[in-house]
A and B are shown apart, each in its own frame.
Chain A
Amino acid sequence: DTGVSQNPRHKITKRGQNVTFRCDPISEHNRLYWYRQTLGQGPEFLTYFQNEAQLEKSRLLSDRFSAERPKGSFSTLEIQRTEQGDSAMYLCASSIGPMVGTFGSGTRLTVV
């Protein structure tokens, strides 16, 4: 059990570019969650999956954001046409059932 792994740890991108983050949950965890944390704030829920099904999406998740978990294992979060307001820490978490258990170290996105 190596914990929840997120890659990359840091990403700097120019405004307007697309970025993709990856999350590898703890093996056999069927639930996977994405959160966004801006400076000085608590994490905000974006979306979650049970196996490969995306069960809930926040209104924060605009049409520029898309998340997938194609085989019920790893997940990707893509942001298209990035904006400076997208700069944040993107956190992934996984659990074996309901209730969030284990968070990854996050991907810090900086849009310049």
Chain B
Amino acid sequence: AQSVTQLGSHVSVSEGALVLLRCNYSSSVPPYLFWYVQYPNQGLQLLLKYTTGATLVKGINGFEAEFKKSETSFHLTKPSAHMSDAAEYFCAVSGPLPQGGSEKLVFGKGMKLTVNP
């Protein structure tokens, strides 16, 4: 079974500081990995995804993540935090396809990001 671990539930950074949100996964097969953002009372918005190929993935709003198989990690980073980045962030795993993996997403518990002025 696949699983995702997001250690801690809350991260606080200053505006302009580096954002680093950690995600470790467990999967018996090469995974597909995702980061989603959720603003209050809204659905989830896809930030970026890794399926195959280049291990450094760039997403929207200046975020990027690097797939490290040896560390089973897919940490999310942004060089300079903006007030508008304050939200909850979820790491998720699924797949792989077409090796018969499931299409469902398995999410971590999420990380609430606070950006201080």
Interface size class of A (residues with CB under 8 A): 20 to 34
A33's closest neighbor in chain B, by CB? B104
In this complex, the interface size class of chain B, counting residues with CB under 8 Å from chain A, is: 20 to 34
Interface residue? B11 (CB, 8 A): no
Given A33-B103, A41-B109, 7 new contacts (CB under 8 A) = A40-B109, A42-B107, A58-B104, A91-B44, A100-B46, A105-B43, A108-B41
A43, B94: Cβ atoms closer than 8 Å: no
Determine if B86 is an interface residue (Cβ-Cβ < 8 Å).
Answer: no
Q: Provide the residues of chain B in CB contact with A91, threshold 8 Å.
A: 43-44
Given the interface contacts A40-B9, A45-B105, A99-B32, does A105 sit within 8 Å of B41 by beta carbon?
yes
A102 contacts across to B, CB distance below 8 A: 46
How many contacts between A and B, using CB within 8 angstroms?
65
Per-position 1/0 for B94-117, Cβ under 8 A of A: 110100001111111110000000
Contacts of B34 in A (CB 8 A): 100
Contact residue among A42, A55, A99 (Cβ-Cβ distance under 8 Å from B109): A42
**Shortest beta-carbon distance from B97 to chain A in Å:** 5
User: For chain A residues 13-68, which have a beta carbon within 8 Å of chain B?
Assistant: 31, 33, 35, 40-45, 48, 55-56, 58
Question: A99-B32, A99-B94, A101-B46 known; A43 and B41 CB under 8 Å?
Answer: no
Q: Which residues of A contact B74 (CB under 8 A)?
A: none
CB-contact partner of B42 in A56, A100, A105, under 8 A: A105
In A68-112, which residues have CB < 8 Å from any B CB? 91, 93, 98-106, 108
Query: CB-CB < 8 A to B51: which residues of A?
Result: 99
* Min C-beta distance of B41 to chain A, whole Å: 7
Complex CA distance for A43 and B102, rounded to whole angstroms: 16
**Interface contact B103-A48, CB-CB below 8 Å:** yes
Write the nearest CB–CB distance from B101 to chain A, whole angstroms. 9
CA of A93 to CA of B105 in the docked complex: distance in angstroms?
Answer: 11
**Nearest-Cβ distance from residue A48 to partner chain B, whole angstroms:** 6
| Residues of the A chain whose Cβ atoms lie less than 8 Å from the Cβ of B106 | 45
